[in-house]
Protein backbone atom coordinates (compact mmCIF):
# COMPACT_ATOMS: atom_id res chain seq x y z
CA UNK A 1 0.00 0.00 0.00
CA UNK A 2 1.44 3.42 -0.92
CA UNK A 3 2.41 5.55 2.03
CA UNK A 4 3.73 8.95 2.96
CA UNK A 5 7.29 8.72 4.23
CA UNK A 6 9.04 11.26 6.44
CA UNK A 7 12.62 11.89 7.46
CA UNK A 8 14.14 12.23 9.93
CA UNK A 9 12.04 10.32 12.42
CA UNK A 10 13.60 12.32 15.24
CA UNK A 11 15.75 15.43 15.26
CA UNK A 12 17.26 17.37 18.13
CA UNK A 13 18.33 20.89 17.36
CA UNK A 14 19.57 23.91 19.23
CA UNK A 15 17.36 26.94 19.59
CA UNK A 16 17.92 29.36 16.74
CA UNK A 17 19.05 26.72 14.27
CA UNK A 18 17.34 26.03 10.97
CA UNK A 19 15.60 22.72 10.50
CA UNK A 20 14.33 21.04 7.35
CA UNK A 21 11.85 18.21 7.62
CA UNK A 22 11.40 16.07 4.56
CA UNK A 23 8.48 14.16 3.19
CA UNK A 24 7.82 11.96 0.19
CA UNK A 25 4.07 12.10 -0.51
CA UNK A 26 2.18 9.32 -2.25
CA UNK A 27 3.28 9.43 -5.87
CA UNK A 28 0.09 10.39 -7.73
CA UNK A 29 -1.10 12.85 -5.09
CA UNK A 30 -1.51 16.52 -5.86
CA UNK A 31 -2.24 18.10 -2.45
CA UNK A 32 0.30 18.20 0.32
CA UNK A 33 0.00 19.23 3.95
CA UNK A 34 1.95 19.75 7.12
CA UNK A 35 0.43 19.33 10.55
CA UNK A 36 2.00 19.40 13.96
CA UNK A 37 1.16 17.97 17.35
CA UNK A 38 2.69 19.33 20.52
CA UNK A 39 2.99 16.62 23.15
CA UNK A 40 -0.38 15.99 24.76
CA UNK A 41 -2.24 18.40 22.49
CA UNK A 42 -4.38 18.25 19.37
CA UNK A 43 -3.16 17.67 15.85
CA UNK A 44 -2.99 21.16 14.31
CA UNK A 45 -3.06 22.15 10.66
CA UNK A 46 -0.11 24.22 9.47
CA UNK A 47 -0.27 24.52 5.71
CA UNK A 48 -1.59 23.02 2.50
CA UNK A 49 0.18 23.14 -0.83
CA UNK A 50 -1.08 22.62 -4.36
CA UNK A 51 0.27 23.36 -7.79
CA UNK A 52 3.53 24.63 -6.36
CA UNK A 53 2.03 27.19 -4.08
CA UNK A 54 0.51 27.49 -0.65
CA UNK A 55 -3.26 27.10 -0.87
CA UNK A 56 -4.03 27.65 2.81
CA UNK A 57 -2.10 28.28 6.00
CA UNK A 58 -2.92 28.62 9.65
CA UNK A 59 -1.96 31.34 12.09
CA UNK A 60 0.79 29.07 13.38
CA UNK A 61 2.48 29.12 9.99
CA UNK A 62 4.27 32.43 10.35
CA UNK A 63 7.34 33.79 8.59
CA UNK A 64 9.55 31.32 10.42
CA UNK A 65 8.05 28.52 8.37
CA UNK A 66 8.29 27.78 4.68
CA UNK A 67 7.42 24.88 2.44
CA UNK A 68 8.87 23.76 -0.83
CA UNK A 69 8.56 21.03 -3.39
CA UNK A 70 12.14 21.08 -4.67
CA UNK A 71 11.68 18.21 -7.13
CA UNK A 72 8.98 15.84 -8.32
CA UNK A 73 8.93 13.74 -5.20
CA UNK A 74 9.94 15.64 -2.06
CA UNK A 75 7.96 18.11 0.01
CA UNK A 76 9.82 19.96 2.73
CA UNK A 77 9.02 22.07 5.76
CA UNK A 78 11.69 24.54 6.84
CA UNK A 79 11.75 26.23 10.20
CA UNK A 80 14.14 29.13 9.88
CA UNK A 81 15.14 29.82 13.47
CA UNK A 82 13.75 27.26 15.85
CA UNK A 83 12.23 28.15 19.20
CA UNK A 84 11.64 25.92 22.20
CA UNK A 85 7.91 25.99 21.47
CA UNK A 86 8.51 24.46 18.04
CA UNK A 87 9.20 21.16 19.77
CA UNK A 88 6.49 18.86 18.42
CA UNK A 89 5.70 15.97 16.14
CA UNK A 90 5.35 17.18 12.57
CA UNK A 91 3.16 15.18 10.22
CA UNK A 92 3.25 15.37 6.47
CA UNK A 93 0.16 14.32 4.55
CA UNK A 94 -1.07 14.10 1.00
CA UNK A 95 -4.27 13.58 -0.94
CA UNK A 96 -5.01 12.69 -4.51
CA UNK A 97 -7.18 15.61 -5.54
CA UNK A 98 -8.42 15.89 -9.09
CA UNK A 99 -11.82 14.47 -8.22
CA UNK A 100 -14.14 17.14 -6.90
CA UNK A 101 -17.10 15.95 -4.84
CA UNK A 102 -15.59 12.53 -4.25
CA UNK A 103 -14.03 12.98 -0.84
CA UNK A 104 -10.31 12.93 -1.45
CA UNK A 105 -8.84 11.12 1.53
CA UNK A 106 -5.82 12.62 3.25
CA UNK A 107 -3.10 10.14 4.19
CA UNK A 108 -0.54 10.91 6.87
CA UNK A 109 3.05 9.95 7.40
CA UNK A 110 4.40 8.63 10.69
CA UNK A 111 5.82 11.96 11.70
CA UNK A 112 9.10 13.64 12.57
CA UNK A 113 9.77 14.38 16.21
CA UNK A 114 11.48 17.72 16.58
CA UNK A 115 13.07 18.55 19.91
CA UNK A 116 14.46 22.06 20.32
CA UNK A 117 16.88 22.49 23.21
CA UNK B 1 -16.39 23.25 8.40
CA UNK B 2 -18.93 22.01 10.93
CA UNK B 3 -17.75 21.08 14.40
CA UNK B 4 -18.08 17.67 15.99
CA UNK B 5 -18.64 16.48 19.55
CA UNK B 6 -17.27 13.19 20.82
CA UNK B 7 -17.07 11.63 24.29
CA UNK B 8 -13.54 12.06 25.66
CA UNK B 9 -13.08 8.39 26.49
CA UNK B 10 -14.67 4.96 26.17
CA UNK B 11 -13.83 1.42 27.18
CA UNK B 12 -14.55 -1.72 25.24
CA UNK B 13 -13.95 -5.38 25.99
CA UNK B 14 -11.70 -7.24 23.60
CA UNK B 15 -13.71 -9.13 20.99
CA UNK B 16 -16.80 -6.99 21.45
CA UNK B 17 -18.03 -4.32 19.09
CA UNK B 18 -16.85 -0.80 19.82
CA UNK B 19 -19.43 1.85 18.97
CA UNK B 20 -18.01 5.36 18.91
CA UNK B 21 -20.57 8.16 18.64
CA UNK B 22 -20.13 11.57 17.09
CA UNK B 23 -22.47 14.54 16.97
CA UNK B 24 -22.26 16.97 14.08
CA UNK B 25 -25.55 18.78 14.37
CA UNK B 26 -24.45 21.74 12.21
CA UNK B 27 -23.25 19.62 9.30
CA UNK B 28 -24.25 20.93 5.92
CA UNK B 29 -25.37 18.95 2.93
CA UNK B 30 -22.01 19.22 1.21
CA UNK B 31 -19.88 17.90 4.08
CA UNK B 32 -18.47 14.42 4.48
CA UNK B 33 -17.94 12.69 7.81
CA UNK B 34 -14.42 11.30 8.19
CA UNK B 35 -12.99 9.05 10.87
CA UNK B 36 -9.31 8.80 11.68
CA UNK B 37 -7.47 7.23 14.56
CA UNK B 38 -4.12 7.88 16.17
CA UNK B 39 -2.27 5.15 17.96
CA UNK B 40 0.14 6.52 20.55
CA UNK B 41 1.44 9.60 18.69
CA UNK B 42 1.79 7.81 15.37
CA UNK B 43 0.44 9.55 12.28
CA UNK B 44 -3.35 9.76 12.05
CA UNK B 45 -4.67 6.73 10.21
CA UNK B 46 -7.63 7.02 7.88
CA UNK B 47 -10.48 4.65 8.75
CA UNK B 48 -13.57 5.49 6.73
CA UNK B 49 -15.70 8.33 5.44
CA UNK B 50 -19.27 8.85 4.26
CA UNK B 51 -21.71 11.43 3.03
CA UNK B 52 -25.24 10.12 3.52
CA UNK B 53 -25.25 6.37 3.25
CA UNK B 54 -23.81 3.87 5.67
CA UNK B 55 -20.39 2.67 4.69
CA UNK B 56 -18.33 -0.42 5.47
CA UNK B 57 -14.77 -1.36 4.75
CA UNK B 58 -12.28 -3.87 6.08
CA UNK B 59 -11.63 -1.78 9.17
CA UNK B 60 -15.00 -0.50 10.29
CA UNK B 61 -18.58 0.49 9.56
CA UNK B 62 -19.94 4.00 9.56
CA UNK B 63 -23.59 4.57 10.39
CA UNK B 64 -24.92 8.05 9.61
CA UNK B 65 -28.35 9.04 10.86
CA UNK B 66 -30.95 10.04 8.32
CA UNK B 67 -30.80 13.70 9.36
CA UNK B 68 -26.97 13.49 9.23
CA UNK B 69 -26.64 15.17 12.59
CA UNK B 70 -24.78 12.27 14.14
CA UNK B 71 -22.86 9.16 13.22
CA UNK B 72 -21.40 6.06 14.82
CA UNK B 73 -18.16 4.33 13.99
CA UNK B 74 -18.36 0.61 14.63
CA UNK B 75 -15.32 -1.61 15.11
CA UNK B 76 -17.03 -5.00 14.93
CA UNK B 77 -14.55 -7.06 16.94
CA UNK B 78 -12.25 -4.77 18.87
CA UNK B 79 -8.73 -5.96 19.62
CA UNK B 80 -6.09 -4.56 21.96
CA UNK B 81 -4.44 -2.99 18.90
CA UNK B 82 -7.53 -0.85 18.38
CA UNK B 83 -6.69 1.13 21.52
CA UNK B 84 -6.24 4.64 20.13
CA UNK B 85 -7.69 8.12 19.93
CA UNK B 86 -10.51 8.23 17.37
CA UNK B 87 -11.33 11.45 15.58
CA UNK B 88 -14.60 12.31 13.87
CA UNK B 89 -14.13 15.17 11.39
CA UNK B 90 -16.41 16.85 8.89
CA UNK B 91 -15.01 18.25 5.68
CA UNK B 92 -16.57 19.95 2.68
CA UNK B 93 -17.23 17.75 -0.33
CA UNK B 94 -16.17 20.32 -2.91
CA UNK B 95 -12.99 21.25 -1.10
CA UNK B 96 -10.83 18.52 -2.53
CA UNK B 97 -7.72 20.07 -1.08
CA UNK B 98 -9.30 21.26 2.14
CA UNK B 99 -7.71 20.65 5.50
CA UNK B 100 -8.93 18.37 8.26
CA UNK B 101 -9.58 20.04 11.59
CA UNK B 102 -8.88 17.68 14.48
CA UNK B 103 -10.66 17.93 17.80
CA UNK B 104 -9.78 16.09 20.98
CA UNK B 105 -11.32 12.83 19.79
CA UNK B 106 -12.39 9.81 21.82
CA UNK B 107 -9.74 7.81 23.61
CA UNK B 108 -10.82 4.19 23.19
CA UNK B 109 -9.32 1.65 25.57
CA UNK B 110 -9.82 -1.96 24.60
CA UNK B 111 -9.42 -4.15 27.64
CA UNK B 112 -8.76 -7.91 27.81
Q: Which of B45, B94, B99 sits opposite A56 (nearest CB)?
A: B99
Q: What is the pLDDT of residues A1-46, one digit of tens each?
A: 779 999 999 999 999 999 999 999 999 898 999 999 999 999 999 9
Contact B12, B73 (CB under 8 A): no
CB-based contact, A43 to chain B, within 8 Å: yes
Q: What is the pLDDT of residues A58-107, one digit of tens each?
A: 999 999 999 999 887 899 999 999 999 999 999 999 998 766 656 688 99
Q: What is the pLDDT of residue A100?
A: 62
Contacts of A91 in chain B (CB under 8 A): 43-44
Contacts of B34 in chain A (CB under 8 A): 103, 105
Question: How many Cα atoms within 13 Å fall on the side-chain side of residue A99?
Answer: 8
Q: Minimal Cα distance from B102: which residue of A? A: A43
Distance from C-alpha of B62 to C-alpha of A33, rounded to nearest angstrom? 26
Contact A13, A86 (CB under 8 A): no
Q: What is the pLDDT of residues B30-68, one digit of tens each?
A: 889 999 999 988 999 999 999 999 999 999 999 999 999
Contact A113, A89 (CB under 8 A): yes
Q: How confident is the model at residue B4 (pLDDT cuts 50, 70, 90)?
A: very high
Q: What is the pLDDT of residues B10-25, one digit of tens each?
A: 999 999 999 999 999 9
Burial class (CB in 10 A: 0-12, 13-18, 19+), A16: exposed
- Nearest-CA distance from B60 to chain A in Å? 16
Q: What is the pLDDT of residue A98?
A: 67
Judge whether residue B95 has pLDDT over 80: no
Amino acid sequence: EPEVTQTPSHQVTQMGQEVILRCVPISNHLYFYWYRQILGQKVEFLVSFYNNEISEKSEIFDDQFSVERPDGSNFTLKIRSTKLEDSAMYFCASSEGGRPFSGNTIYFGEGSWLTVV
Amino acid sequence: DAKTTQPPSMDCAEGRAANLPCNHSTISGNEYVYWYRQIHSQGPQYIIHGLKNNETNEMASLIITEDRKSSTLILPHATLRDTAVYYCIVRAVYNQGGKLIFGQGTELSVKP
